[in-house]
Amino acid sequence: MSAPERVAPSDLKALRRAAEAGDAAAQFNLGVLSDSRIDDNGYAVPGDRAEALRWLEQAA
């Protein structure tokens, strides 16, 4: 699975809020997105593998 090429900053903020609130689907999706980090303009760039694994473990 790969991250989308572009994610709106407002969508990313909403996803992060849901993940932090314990939503397993949001945690999984944020884990996938974290593996291909989203920059300030919403583009996927090489990510943070440790953060991705943290979110994926929480989703499990």
Residue pLDDT, tens place only, 32-41: 888 876 677 8
pTM for the whole structure: 0.73
Q: CA-to-CA distance for 24 and 9, rounded, in angstroms?
A: 20
Question: Residue 13: is it exposed, middle or buried by C-beta count within 10 angstroms (0-12/13-18/19+)?
Answer: exposed
pLDDT band at 56 (very low <50, low <70, confident <90, very high): very high
